[in-house]
Chains A and B, each alone.
Chain A
């Protein structure tokens, strides 16, 4: 009868094995060359193999030795922040920072249950202005400020 004695190690090991298999599959079409002339796949493939072996050891440890339980994941923060950042990536080029900035911040702000709407609106507006002044005007970074699709408005 197999008993899981350390879920944390077991899951970590399984994840490592999955990563290793995935990486080995990804470099599957590439040549590994010879020791004399190493090909592009040599390093990733063999490192992945060792990671896979390490994963097996973690799995074994998870079954044989007592250890830590799985930790709880808090999803609210990561969820809103990730969605916010992906939105930023999607809008910065097409709509510009004047849209992308506040939009992202309004979303990201909801990553905590302590969010206060009015405060967040004011903060987002102030941060947008601050970032524009700092990055665009003082540091002269090439960040699109405002673009309206379908029109020729591009700042």
Chain B
């Protein structure tokens, strides 16, 4: 217990320099700014803002990225409440009661309770990360390639089962992501694969470019189909701080939401999304008068928003300790960290503890900043939303172009970006989602590497994956999960779990 606080102290010492605080603040601010743009979720926000962190020290860059991440999350909730446009799936349930509150003139209170709930959830999950960091890292260090491979298989199965929509389509997308990841040099022989002999394809596709193309530009394509402009927020924000009664109503939902969200967030796959849905369902079931839900019940904002943020934060745990991104947002974070020369995984904690604890501490600082600085500025975000979309998308595109160019100073990357954007648009036209593809893309490279190593160690025997007990256990979990997901009763309730937001 003492260790935990000593470590957090170390982290705070790293994070709390004037420069880092300023970076975290700017990150939060920009994250919210881009995150409130309709249709721009956290993945696109991180990808678009990534170039801004180039040229910073790794620690500072990570701290700024954490700020951007939380800002983007909150930006998504802001548009969900004000415009009923969820910036991302985890904010879908927030639109139900949050937007109703806004229409009743209580937009400020909805935004306020979302920020307060998020801050509490963030604080608790920061402590969870700090507590689980070291034990899980120790576990990761005994993992061999076979265990890693099986763990990733399990993670992908989780991701498929917890994602919304067709399981079969999600699996196909993961495979497509893995296939995309094999473009570029072979890991052992260095032979080029599927590069068409083009020099700028020789290094394969950068994950940040994939994120910008599939989640940034492709989303612009989709948005241009319909006129979003009708949705400008005309109402009043009203007071931001909830009253005593509203706080009392929200206390238990925040506590429950935090617990549910933190637990689900650690799971691979769309844990964070599931958390907010689960929290909403729980609050509705527990409420004395469930009919209030959907008509501006503050519990319906407080619970899911806390769950959302708790999950957003605990999903860092598999990334930082095992080096495995549990969802598409974390997959982008892998790309961001790699560009700064940090390979996420157990070695971060063992070799550069100041980096690990600095990041953990800056998560908490990022949450605090959201509450004390971002919330009062909410009026400003609303103004920003009034920029007509016919100009806004031009800005988004040029930002992506500059961003992609500055990653490798390679104009060819912009061509790759264009191709990926078209691919992303096509996927949505056939009812496929880009998130499993992104996850498959990042895990694909790691899986290939670990598969090869595991088979070298076992002299080519595939049975190594079931002979090693830990690996066998992980694979069993994966198989059981997949079988359960296809059982008729579970299949139905799985579909039902996501219906709430689609009404």
How far is B453's CA from A36's CA once the two chains are assembled, in angstroms?
A: 9
Is A145's CB within 8 Å of the partner chain B?
A: no
Instruction: Check A81 against B182 for contact (C-beta < 8 Å).
Output: no
Instruction: Check A54 against B448 for contact (C-beta < 8 Å).
Output: no
Residue-wise interface mask of B (185-226) relative to A, using a CB-CB cutoff of 8 A (1 in contact, 0 not): 010110101101000000000000000000001001100110
The CB with the most chain A CB atoms within 10 A, among B51, B397, B451, is that of B397
Query: B189's contact among A39, A44, A92, A114, by CB below 8 Å, is which?
Result: A39
The CB with the most chain A CB atoms within 10 A, among B171, B412, B415, B461, is that of B415
How far is B430's CA from A12's CA once the two chains are assembled, in angstroms?
A: 6
Is A50's CB within 8 Å of the partner chain B?
A: yes
Is A3's CB within 8 Å of the partner chain B?
A: no
* Minimum C-beta distance from B464 to chain A (A): 10
Instruction: Check B406 against A141 for contact (C-beta < 8 Å).
Output: yes
Instruction: Check A86 against B418 for contact (C-beta < 8 Å).
Output: yes
Residues of A contacting B398 with CB < 8 Å? 88, 101, 104-105, 108, 127, 131
Is A76's CB within 8 Å of the partner chain B?
A: yes
A-B contact count (CB 8 A): 183
Total residues of chain A contacting the partner, CB 8 A: 69
Instruction: Check A38 against B51 for contact (C-beta < 8 Å).
Output: no
Residue-wise interface mask of A (88-122) relative to B, using a CB-CB cutoff of 8 A (1 in contact, 0 not): 11101100010001001100110110111001100
Is B172's CB within 8 Å of the partner chain A?
A: yes
Residue-wise interface mask of A (129-143) relative to B, using a CB-CB cutoff of 8 A (1 in contact, 0 not): 001001100011111
Q: Which of A26-46 contact B (CB under 8 A)?
A: 26-27, 30, 34-41, 43-44
* Minimum C-beta distance from B192 to chain A (A): 9
Residues of A contacting B432 with CB < 8 Å? 12
Residues of B contacting A18 with CB < 8 Å? none
Instruction: Check A44 against B194 for contact (C-beta < 8 Å).
Output: yes
Is A64's CB within 8 Å of the partner chain B?
A: no
Say yes or no: A139-B54 contact (C-beta < 8 A), given A50-B175, A51-B179, A127-B394: yes
Instruction: Check B431 against A8 for contact (C-beta < 8 Å).
Output: yes
Instruction: Check B429 against A73 for contact (C-beta < 8 Å).
Output: yes
Instruction: Check A81 against B411 for contact (C-beta < 8 Å).
Output: no
How far is B188's CA from A112's CA once the two chains are assembled, in angstroms?
A: 47
Say yes or no: A40-B430 contact (C-beta < 8 A), given A89-B411, A92-B405, A109-B394: no
* Minimum C-beta distance from A30 to chain B (A): 6
* Minimum C-beta distance from A139 to chain B (A): 6
Residue of B nearest to A102 (CB): B398
The CB with the most chain A CB atoms within 10 A, among B393, B411, B422, is that of B411
Query: B456's contact among A15, A37, A88, A120, by CB below 8 Å, is which?
Result: A37
Q: Which of A51-82 contact B (CB under 8 A)?
A: 51, 54, 57-58, 68, 70-71, 73-74, 76-78, 81-82
Total residues of chain B contacting the partner, CB 8 A: 65
Residue-wise interface mask of B (157-190) relative to A, using a CB-CB cutoff of 8 A (1 in contact, 0 not): 0000000000010011001101100100010110
Residues of A contacting B460 with CB < 8 Å? 34-37
Residues of B contacting A48 with CB < 8 Å? 179
Residue of A nearest to B195 (CB): A26
Residue of A nearest to B176 (CB): A51
Is A4's CB within 8 Å of the partner chain B?
A: no
Residue of A nearest to B225 (CB): A74
Is A47's CB within 8 Å of the partner chain B?
A: yes
How far is B55's CA from A111's CA once the two chains are assembled, in angstroms?
A: 33
Residue-wise interface mask of B (106-126) relative to A, using a CB-CB cutoff of 8 A (1 in contact, 0 not): 000000000000000000000
* Minimum C-beta distance from B389 to chain A (A): 8
How far is B456's CA from A37's CA once the two chains are assembled, in angstroms?
A: 6
Say yes or no: A111-B429 contact (C-beta < 8 A), given A23-B179, A88-B401: no
Instruction: Check B411 against A93 for contact (C-beta < 8 Å).
Output: yes
Residue of A nearest to B397 (CB): A108
How far is B398's CA from A127's CA once the two chains are assembled, in angstroms?
A: 9
Instruction: Check B221 against A47 for contact (C-beta < 8 Å).
Output: no
Residue-wise interface mask of A (16-28) relative to B, using a CB-CB cutoff of 8 A (1 in contact, 0 not): 1001000100110
Instruction: Check A142 against B406 for contact (C-beta < 8 Å).
Output: yes
Instruction: Check A111 against B393 for contact (C-beta < 8 Å).
Output: yes
Residues of A contacting B452 with CB < 8 Å? 38
* Minimum C-beta distance from B376 to chain A (A): 25
Say yes or no: A119-B391 contact (C-beta < 8 A), given A41-B193, A57-B168, A135-B402: yes
Please list the 9 inter-chain residue pairs (A to B) with the smallest Cβ-Cβ separation, ordered nearest first: A36-B460, A77-B224, A40-B186, A89-B414, A35-B460, A44-B182, A89-B411, A12-B430, A26-B194
Q: Write 11 A-B pairs (CB below 8 A) sorted by A numbering.
A: A34-B460, A40-B186, A40-B188, A43-B451, A85-B415, A88-B398, A89-B418, A127-B398, A140-B55, A141-B406, A142-B409
A15-B430, A109-B391 given; 12 more Cβ-contact pairs under 8 Å: A8-B430, A27-B193, A30-B191, A43-B444, A47-B175, A48-B179, A54-B172, A71-B430, A77-B220, A81-B421, A85-B421, A89-B411
